[in-house]
Amino acid sequence: MIFAKKIFITLLMIFGLNLSTASADESAELVVEGQPILTRTKAPSHMENIDEVRSGWTFRIKETQALQMDDFENPGMIFVDKGIDLWNKVEGSKNKSCASCHGDASEFKGLRTVMPKWNASAGALWSMEDHVNNCRTEQMGAEPLKWGKAPMDSIVALIGLQSRGMTMNVKIDGDVEPMWELGKELFYTRVGQLDMSCANCHEDNYGVMIRADHLSQGQINGFPTYRLKNAKLNSIHARFKGCMKNIRATPYKVGGDEFRALELYVASRGNGLSAETPSVRN
Amino acid sequence: MNKLKFLFSFLFIIFYSGASFSEVAPSDVVADEYGAVTASLTGVAGDPTNGRKVFMNRKQGNCLACHVNSEMSEQTFHGAVGPVLDGVADRWTAAELRGMLVNSKKVFEGTIMPAFYKDSGYNRTLKKFVGKTILKAQQVEDVLAYLQTLKE
């Protein structure tokens, strides 16, 4: 079954891409397992140059869109299953699993929609990965997981899935405001030998083809996202890193302050959309 | 074997120094107030056949990423970020086109189009591209020669 799925995905990569925008369905509605997901909505008031925010799903071709509409077809769900295994796995010097203290992952329903958020005890902006690692080291006496690797991405996806269909609503004022401002500045700063900012592609040119890619708004409401390109879950920071390398810029550190700030700012550009974790993209 | 190596490095030095003597360095390019560059960067006439290759190569010009070009309709995927380049030689002079290739920002303020012959003034460039231009001087002249064949 999994094998058949792999072949299907490979075929989709080979032929699907050639279908190009001809079969992109920009007006389709996303319903997953009977639950409607909001993929277009009025832009949050802090956005000056865009009236409507749109999920990356609306820019993908029909075949890719379809994969996200059915959990049985969504290859990201295989990783969520791995996340469940990890959730229940006893590890570390204190002989505990996540389940020992948090019971079922559904305890975290809604958490994804407010991430990243301020952590008062650390006095810092925290991504989901920070919470996972803090519990591993402090509560379990276990090794931290590496950002951007399958175990971490799987558990982050499992927690994110609990909020699927709920409205993204990260806080941008108060303690996090300086980080939000930094993220905004980074979004509009040109970098790399190609000398482009995130905004050059994801604000000025969304909806336009850049060679074989249909540019989206670069939203992160669906992360971690399963990409057909590398057949695995991709974290938010890994995606930022990839976009920076494409324009020949030195990426900021995965898990570092700049990417955390950018994560907050980009997340806030999606306030009002539904959380879609785990989404499927090409 | 060693002799051969010696001969090659000798030829390379001659070739290389020859090229760099006649080439205009990126920081020495003279552009007018509209960004146009009249003088050739190399003094060697551009080769439109090679220019066509540089134009489509994803690691070099990658111009198709952003432009539709009907003369290359055999290539799949033409981007639409910039204008269609059909007939571009009817619209712009050689000096204007050279200026766009060297540094499009001097021609179109705030454009997304990269500067292809500029080696400094960037922010956080990946190490292996630091101090380098996207295209070499002769590649710019070659692409220019190719663009000049695009007439309606």
DSSP code for A26: T
3-state class (DSSP) for residue A234: strand
Query: For residue A12, what is the DSSP state?
Result: I
A198 is catalytic: no
Number of domains in chain A: 2
Please give the pLDDT value at position A71: 96
- B112 interfaces chain A, CB cutoff of 8 Å: yes
A156 and A254 share one domain:
no
Q: Are residues A178 and A275 in the same domain?
A: yes
Domain holding A61, by residue range, is 2-74+166-281
Quick check: A204 contacting B, CB < 8 Å? yes
Beta-ladder partners of B32: none
Phi, psi angles (nearest 5°) of residue B6: -60, -45
Kindly state whether B62 is in contact with chain A, defined as any CB-CB distance less than 8 angstroms: yes
Chain A contacts of B127, Cβ < 8 Å? 250
CB–CB contacts below 8 A, A to B: 69
Residue A224: is the preceding peptide bond cis (ω within 30°)?
Answer: yes
Give which of B62, B66, B81 to mutate to test A binding, by max A Cβ within 10 Å.
B81
Which H or E element spans position B102? helix B94-103
Regarding whether A209 and A157 lie in a shared domain, the answer is: no
Q: What mean pLDDT value characterizes chain B? A: 91
Which tokens is A23 given?
Answer: 């079969």
What percentage of chain A exceeds 70 in pLDDT?
Answer: 91
> What is this structure's pTM?
0.92
Beta carbons of A257 and A36 less than 8 angstroms apart? no
Cβ count near A54 (within 10 Å): 20
Residue bearing tokens 């405001």:
A177
Q: Which residues from chain B sit within 8 angstroms of residue A201, using beta carbons?
A: 112
Q: How confident is residue B18, by pLDDT bands cut at 50, 70 and 90?
A: very low
- Which whole-number Å values give the CA distances from A170 to A32, A233, B149, in the listed order? 23, 22, 53
Q: Are residues A82 and A129 in the same domain?
A: yes
Q: What is the sign, positive or negative, of the torsion defined by CA atoms of B48, B73, B96, B102?
A: negative
According to the model, what pLDDT value does residue B7 have? 52
Last residue of a domain, one of A101, A130, A161: A161
Residue spans of the domains in chain B: they are 2-147
ipTM, interface predicted TM-score of the complex: 0.86
Domain edge (last residue) among A161, A181, A208:
A161
pLDDT one-digit tens code per residue, A202-250: 999 999 999 999 999 999 999 999 999 999 999 999 999 999 999 999 9
Residue A94 shares a structural domain with residue A56: no
pLDDT tens-digit profile of A128-161? 999 999 999 999 999 999 999 999 999 999 999 9
User: Which of the residues A194, A204, A241, A247 would you substitute to probe the B interface, choosing the one with the greatest number of B C-beta atoms within 10 Å?
Assistant: A194
Q: Which residues pair with A31 in a beta bridge?
A: A36
CATH number of domain containing A114: 1.10.760.10
- Shared domain for A143 and A193, answered yes or no, is no
The alpha-carbon gap from A192 to the nearest alpha carbon of chain B, in Å, equals 4
Both A50 and A172 in one domain: the answer is: yes
Residues 6+ apart with CB under 8 A from B66: A210, A211, B79, B80, B81, B82, B112, B113
Looking at the fold, whether A114 and A217 belong to one and the same domain comes out as no
Given this model, what pLDDT does residue B21 score?
56
The pLDDT tens digits of the residues spanning B45-87 come to 999 999 999 999 999 999 999 999 999 999 999 999 999 999 9
Q: Is the peptide bond before A278 cis (omega within 30 degrees of 0)?
A: yes
pLDDT grade for A26, boundaries at 50, 70 and 90: confident
- How far is Cα A230 from Cα A218, in angstroms, rounded to an integer? 18
Is residue A230 located within the same domain as residue A209? yes
Mutation for testing the B interface, residue in A195, A204, A241 having most B CBs under 10 Å: A195
User: Is the domain of A194 the same as that of A111?
Assistant: no
Structure-token match 């993204």, residue found = A168
The sign of the CA dihedral A204, B55, B85, A16 is negative
- The residue in chain A having the minimum alpha-carbon distance to the alpha carbon of residue B113 is A194
Contact assignment for A192 to B126 by CB distance below 8 Å: yes
Q: How confident is the model at residue B8 (pLDDT cuts 50, 70, 90)?
A: low
Q: How confident is the model at residue A28 (pLDDT cuts 50, 70, 90)?
A: confident
Alpha-carbon separation of residue B48 from B75, B78, B93, B99 (angstroms): 17, 20, 16, 17
Last residue of a domain, one of A131, A161, A191: A161
Q: Are residues A98 and A224 in the same domain?
A: no
Which phi and psi (to 5°) does residue B35 adopt?
90, 0
Instruction: Assign domain B2-147 to its CATH architecture.
Output: Orthogonal Bundle (1.10)
Contact A258, A204 (CB under 8 A): no
Question: How far is B108 from chain A, CA to nearest CA, in Å?
Answer: 14
Cβ distance B79 to A248 less than 8 Å, yes or no, reads no
